[in-house]
Structure 1
Amino acid sequence: MPTNDHEMHQTPGPHDQHVRDADSPGYETTDVNAGGVAVFLAGLFGFVLVFFVFCFVMGKVINSAIEKSDGPTTKWNKLSDFAGAETTNGKRQDLASNPEMQQKEFQQMTSTFPEPRLDIDDGNQATADMHAREDLLLDNYSVTPAENGSIRIPISRAMELIVQRGLPVNSQAAAATVEMAGDEKPVVLAPLTSGFARTGYELEVIEAREQKMSYGKAEAANQAELAPTK
């Protein structure tokens, strides 16, 4: 029967991990080189400092070059062409993203650009706002300071008063005028609509508003039905 007893009498090799001698005691025999670590950290700190100074100087150079390329300050070329320039005397705003700066620049340009200006949405919103102001003026009571404090009444109430009181009639008969050849007596026709024509954008907004209101009413009625009665 073979055994491994012959391996017990073998001399250990030079790379045996379990052998402890002067060459391999099993622990570090020298201390950490603190000087080398300190030199490395000092070099890293110096590199970061030099890089920061370099970036700061390059930023100053680039900003001065941009300001020189913009030309002298005129009516259409101001220091406020970019965000935060008015409060920082021409210096660019820190921590501002490029889209934000472009939006502020666009707002400043549109505010200083002479009128009339083109509508950015084909006039849909502007027309809707104008009609909303007209509706507010025609459907509600208001005071006109320019006319010695006269009170405006809603147009529906004005129509009712006209129906009740009647239109004024001229008591003096108009003198008959002889029409010339080709002349026709003008005939005033009643408008087919109750007011100005709505645009497609306004009709969509009104329809969406009505749907939202009807949905809110349906939700309120549903909650009222589900609420327990006391």
Structure 2
Amino acid sequence: MFVKHSTILFVFLSIFICSCSSNKPEIKEGTIIYSADYPNHKKNAFLYSILPKEVQISFKDGVVRNDISRANLQNILLFDCNKKQMDIYFQYGEEAFKTKLTPNEIQQMLDEQYQYAIELVDESDTLAGFNVKKAIARNKKNKLDVITLWYTDEIAIKNPNWYNSFGQVPGVLLAYSVDRYGIRMDYKAVKFIPEMDESKKRLFTLPAKGTAISYSEYTKKMNDLFATFE
């Protein structure tokens, strides 16, 4: 086991949290801060207490970085929305792993996700300073799984949601829910920082160190670790 139980729960957060969209060129870079909640796991005090309650997503010129760090743990997911490419980096202590997904692995990742029918709704609001629109996602295999989505078209990133379950939504998701490793996660944008300093702009490449593994190996490690909670 390459991580402790109290750290593996941070890994899965990144995979489906950020989205890529927009026809408007106004906003090309910045950081979105999301609150995170786990409605089905509040009775498990230990599990709920160590799950992160905040996630930050940075983007610039169509590249999106999800970076979660705590003590000597770092988990990075890097999405190139222009080229539809994805990289993963995970470090805990002296151990580091990285995965550059092939086109087939990206398709495998997409096939593993729940499939939703998307209904765009004529309803609007504001969230974290953005104008947002509403959509409803209905699980094609589970009629009880219905998710309310809020998205904005005010961020200039192409290829909306190409790597998540909500590919038909034409905007950056600012409120939504996803399932990963048996955990339902609710995300809601709470703050937007419109510009990044030069040090953050250099973060859109992964660290050089780390043992290269395949996406299947990465997924197996995560599944094996989460199986210990059953």
The TM-score bracket by the shorter chain reads under 0.3
Query: Which TM-score applies when normalising by structure 1?
Result: 0.15
Structure number with greater Rg is: 1
More strand by share: 2
Which one has more relative contact order, counting CA pairs under 8 Å at least 6 apart? 2
Query: Which TM-score applies when normalising by structure 2?
Result: 0.15
More helix by share: 1
